Structure 1
Amino acid sequence: MVMRAPFKRQRNQPTLWRISLKLATWNVNSLTVRLPHVLDWLTANQPDVLCLQETKQEDSKFPYAALQEAGFNAVHNGQKTYNGVAIISPHPLQDVHLDLPNFVDAQKRIIAATVLGVRVICAYVVNGQALDSEKYPYKLQWLEALHAWVTDELTQHEKLALLGDYNIAPDDRDCHDPVAWEGQVLVSPAERAAFERLLALGLHDSYRLFHEEAGQFSWWDYRMAAFRRNMGMRIDHILVSEALKPLCLDCVIDKAPRKLERPSDHTPVVLTLANA
């Protein structure tokens, strides 16, 4: 069953027209631990959509009341201890869909909704663990199913955004040390090929529309002072359909939450779109 908080309009929010739309994705690595960070970030940034991954909560534990009090609607697809995805918005969330329809899987990794005419898909892609792990072929099969489903979604929704933790660094610019990571998950040729196949559907990596440089990351290990030393990976992405590409105004990685006490190992990626 889809669980949602009742819609509550933000104070001073325009009712008829908005100059721009702000879409964000954030792997929070336990919403139980990071809820204060999320509420503060929502208040400060006022996104139109925030997609969360790794909530690590059952639907019954999801903080609908706290989000409603802050003025946000929410839908959640969760499970105890692992995975879990959510979409949060001050706007109505319509046509909500859970899970990949073409892939039998107990893991809660997909939720989709239509917000202000944009089809928003929140995805938490399988990590894969290691190339010799049984979780690696599972990752590739899951990505194949995602590709097939998104193909179908694009036929129904011209304006589509696929946000989430992809657990894929698309090329060497997105890895702090490509040589050290060679032969590991997140950077393997098969994973990168799966990412390229998504782009071949007519999707665009919104961050790369504005930033071509290397060394820009969204995830840093907790160990070895990785954040301070910028030993990270860009594995959190917002892909947009051809219809949304000309509306993209900017895409940034917001590193501020990674500097907080007890942060997630990921930080938000935020896309601003012109409203049209």
Structure 2
Amino acid sequence: MSLTFASWNINSIRTRAHLVKDWLDRNEACTLLCLQEIKCEAHQFPPLFEEAGFHVAVAGQKAYNGVALISRAPLTITTDHLPGFESDEARYIEAELDDVTIGNLYLPNGNSGGEAGFAKKLNFFDALYHRARALQQGGRSFAFIGDYNVCPTDEDYAPKALSPDDALLHPESRAGFRRLLWSGLTDALRCLHPTGQHYTFWDYQAGAYQRNSGLRIDHALLSPRLADRLTSFTIDKDERGRDKPSDHVPVVVKLDTAQSSHE
């Protein structure tokens, strides 16, 4: 069957739950929404989604990070952390839906914490690569979607939007992303739009949104059989223009009818 799923770094779900609920009401075709940076523990996650009949799964922590899944269909949670990433930070949750495994991730920024902070970013990339290999070896169709905190190429950020030494542009950050591609995964946006400026984040400062001084840091990487089913990748830019929005916007992946459940 066809499947539509989305990702959104919401930058505090308790502050913006009404925006998420409104978006879901307007996007009925979206079966699963993956949220990052919810900034709350599981028991603090707003109840309005479950009250409205959605299925919710949360890997949260107090005040920082945190990821969650909001689904119209029942989910099977396979893990609430990224295997091999040794940290108590809530940055990954994975579920099975319609014979597809979806990993929702919030990759470390890498600009804070000095060398240790940047090493954490690279460690996450390494663990994600090994998770991809494990899913491939298990014959799974899967997607890794979320905030990767990396601009893969110079075309993925507006001129002067970042300093040259920013961790989002660091050669090792980009190498971590390319390693995932070289393992056989497909960048959903670049599959459909090989060139061009397509941004998913605009800073709150200096009128970045109004000037379209943005970054592409929210990505969906698809395993081969899912990439064969890809029909659209949409960036819902209008959400950034709403009242008190997140600095990120939703990205939406649509797949056509499955031919097989295995790679």
Q: Tell me if both proteins adopt one fold, taking TM over 0.5 as the criterion.
A: yes
Partner of 1:199: 181
Whole-angstrom CA distance in 2 between matches of 1:146 and 1:59:
23
Is residue 52 of structure 1 aligned with residue 48 of structure 2? no
Gaps of 5+ in 2: 259-263
Alignment identity in percent?
A: 39
TM-score, normalization: structure 1? 0.89
Instruction: Provide the secondary structure at the position in 1 that maps to 2:43.
Output: helix
Which residue type is aligned with residue 94 of structure 2?
A: A
Whole-angstrom CA distance in 2 between matches of 1:259 and 1:71:
28
Matches for 1:53-68 after TM superposition, within 5 Å:
53-63=36-46, 65-68=47-50
Partner of 1:8: none
Is residue 126 of structure 1 aligned with residue 113 of structure 2? no
Gaps of 5+ in 1: 1-17
Is residue 144 of structure 1 aligned with residue 136 of structure 2? no
- Counting matched residue pairs gives 257
Could you tell me how far 1:181 is from its partner in structure 2? 3.0
Give yes or no for contact 1:112–1:121 (8 Å, CA) kept in 2: yes
Q: Deviations over 1:205-252 (max 9, x none)?
A: 001111133321000110000001011100000110001111100101
Partner of 1:5: none
- Seen in structure 2, the aligned counterparts of structure 1 residues 132 and 61 have a Cα distance that, compared at 3 Å, is closer
Instruction: Provide the secondary structure at the position in 1 that maps to 2:225.
Output: coil
Instruction: Provide the secondary structure at the position in 2 that maps to 1:243.
Output: helix
Instruction: Provide the secondary structure at the position in 1 that maps to 2:108.
Output: coil
Whole-angstrom CA distance in 1 between matches of 2:234 and 2:107:
21
Give yes or no for contact 1:119–1:157 (8 Å, CA) kept in 2: no
Could you tell me how far 1:94 is from its partner in structure 2? 1.0
Partner of 1:15: none
Of residues 175-184 and 224-233 in structure 1, the stretch that sits farther from structure 2 once superposed is 175-184
Whole-angstrom CA distance in 1 between matches of 2:67 and 2:45:
11
Whole-angstrom CA distance in 2 between matches of 1:195 and 1:96:
23
- Seen in structure 2, the aligned counterparts of structure 1 residues 180 and 261 have a Cα distance that, compared at 3 Å, is closer
Which residue type is aligned with residue 254 of structure 1?
A: D
Give yes or no for contact 2:161–2:213 (8 Å, CA) kept in 1: no
Which residue type is aligned with residue 78 of structure 1?
A: G
Matches for 1:1-276 after TM superposition, within 5 Å:
18=1, 20-46=2-28, 47-63=30-46, 65-129=47-111, 132-177=114-159, 181-276=163-258
Could you tell me how far 1:96 is from its partner in structure 2? 2.9
Could you tell me how far 1:69 is from its partner in structure 2? 2.7
- Seen in structure 2, the aligned counterparts of structure 1 residues 240 and 180 have a Cα distance that, compared at 3 Å, is closer
Could you tell me how far 1:179 is from its partner in structure 2? 8.8
Could you tell me how far 1:146 is from its partner in structure 2? 1.8
Which residue type is aligned with residue 41 of structure 1?
A: W
Instruction: Provide the secondary structure at the position in 2 that maps to 1:134.
Output: helix
Q: Deviations over 1:46-77 (max 9, x none)?
A: 211110000001011112x3112323111110
Whole-angstrom CA distance in 1 between matches of 2:155 and 2:113:
21
Whole-angstrom CA distance in 2 between matches of 1:115 and 1:253:
22
- Seen in structure 2, the aligned counterparts of structure 1 residues 66 and 157 have a Cα distance that, compared at 3 Å, is farther
Q: Deviations over 1:164-214 (max 9, x none)?
A: 000001101101016953221101110000000011111100011111333
Of residues 70-79 and 142-151 in structure 1, the stretch that sits farther from structure 2 once superposed is 142-151
Whole-angstrom CA distance in 2 between matches of 1:71 and 1:199:
36
Give yes or no for contact 1:172–1:178 (8 Å, CA) kept in 2: no
Whole-angstrom CA distance in 2 between matches of 1:116 and 1:89:
12
Task: Say what the alpha-carbon RMSD is for the aligned residues.
Answer: 1.6
Give yes or no for contact 2:13–2:39 (8 Å, CA) kept in 1: yes
